[in-house]
Amino acid sequence: MKEDLIKRFTTYVKVDTQSNEDSETCPSTPGQWTLLHMLADECKAIGMDEVTLDENGYLFATLPSNTDKKVPTIGFLAHVDTTTDFTGKNVNPQIIENYDGKEIVLNKSLRVVLSPEEYPNLKNYIGQTLITTDGTTLLGADDKAGVAEIMTAMDYLLHHPEIKHGKIRVAFTPDEEIGRGPHKFNVGAFGADFAYTMDGGPLGELEYETFNAASAKITIRGNNIHPGSAKGKMVHSAKIAMELHSLLPEDEVPERTEGYEGFYHLISIHGDVEETKMYYIIRDHDREKFEAKKANLQSIVNSLKEKYGQDKITIELADQYYNMKEKIEPVKEIVDIAYDAMKSLGIEPKISPVRGGTDGSQLSFMGLPTPNIFAGGENMHGKYEYVSVETMGKAVQVIVEIAKRFEERA
């Protein structure tokens, strides 16, 4: 299984599938189509049924049930794209066998070194096989580790008919990194009762709580006039923006929050006297606090409108996704099954609230409850990204074990 995982993973990461938020198409980039077509062929080659790749780049496949019992249909999902933050072109994966716990020189000429002093998690992998970058690109373990794990688990189950399971659906999806992953996901056509994204980080991660998320676009219009004759006439939009920001709670920002603490995050501000544009995101796990944060920003804007004129400021508030917990809690057994599956494999489950969203946060609200399970990657989205083959192997076992457990309890 180890060789299969390495072969699959190193093949997938060599395809440049970086997504692009400026693109209007779905998938947003042609490289994703390349990998999706490769995966469709592979699904057929290993013997999966109902392999479909729709016009939006959603690849579905089925592993038919091999039991007489009536078992819920479960799905496993992974995304094929990589982040916009760092290049995924010409990825050249390096395999380090039997890792000794010391520095790993990723790139000698560029002096890029992956060191356990900076990244102490490396110490968890002594004796294991690591896959790293060559120091010039990201690796793409997020989420090609998940893709390789699901494919390998399906291949394994096809070769082990003695392991009984219900119908399993697999989905490989585009554009997660630009937040569009679930946008064109056809939940009806997928036809699963529950699903899991294999898109978490290190061993044991199990997540079913995410932020509630909204964005706010604020435009402030000023009035520019020669500063020599500006008295009583100039309206300075950038200064109104500074005033607006100063009215938000100082400590509710990403750099001062953790755990279940939410925030307002000023992503960008561009402006001068005449016009200033501000872009905020608002995040909170708690739905009431989330609504209160949006209301607070709105009322700050209202008070500034009173002060400077109704036409001076506009705000566009839009919800982006919600905490999936609301949809998972009524079917909490799907988390328990994953938890027990990990335990039985000697993995300590690590449940913590995601300070972000997953594809599952949107899918859960589209009718497909979808917690998230570790895929194994560390230091995602940059040149220090790496993954342990042993962790990927554990993820494969977790998938198999979950499939088994759904059958056993049916």
Residue closer to Zn ion, measured from CB, 141 or 168 = 141
The stretch among 142-150, 205-213, 233-241, 345-353 that binds Zn ion (CB under 5 A) is: 142-150
**Does the footprint of Zn ion cover residue 175 (CB under 5 A)?**
no
Q: Of 79 and 169, which has the nearer Cβ to Zn ion?
A: 79
User: Which is nearer to Zn ion, 57 or 271 (by Cβ)?
Assistant: 57
Q: Which is nearer to Zn ion, 199 or 407 (CB)?
A: 199
Near Zn ion by CB under 5 A: residue from 149, 155, 199, 407: 199
Stretch near Zn ion under the rule CB under 5 A, chosen from 128-136, 137-145, 180-188, 262-270: 137-145
C-alpha 342/C-alpha 345 separation (Å) is: 5
Q: How far apart are CA 120 and CA 124, in angstroms?
A: 8
Does residue 252 belong to the site contacting Zn ion (CB under 5 A)?
A: no
Q: How far apart are CA 216 and CA 232, in angstroms?
A: 30
The residues annotated as belonging to the active site are: 81, 176
In the numeric block, the tokens 């709105």 are attached to 298
Examine residue 284 and tell whether it contacts Zn ion (CB under 5 A). Answer: no
**Closest separation in Å from C-beta 379 to Zn ion:** 13
Q: Which structure tokens are listed for 14?
A: 């060599």
**Residue 257 — φ and ψ, nearest 5°?**
-130, 160
- Residue 143 binds Zn ion, judged by CB under 5 A: yes
CB within 8 A of 41, min separation 6: which ones? none
Question: What string of DSSP letters covers 296-331?
Answer: HHHHHHHHHHHHH-GGGEEEEEEEEE--THHHHGGG
Strands of 59-63's sheet in order across: 49-53, 59-63, 168-173, 74-79, 194-200, 372-374, 205-207, 350-351
How many residues bind Zn ion (CB under 5 A)? The answer is 3
Closest separation in Å from C-beta 199 to Zn ion: 4
Give the C-alpha separation, 312 to 238, whole Å: 12
CB of 337 to Zn ion, least distance (A): 22
Query: Is position 207 an interface residue for Zn ion (rule: CB under 5 A)?
Result: no
Binding residues vs Zn ion (CB under 5 A): 142-143, 199
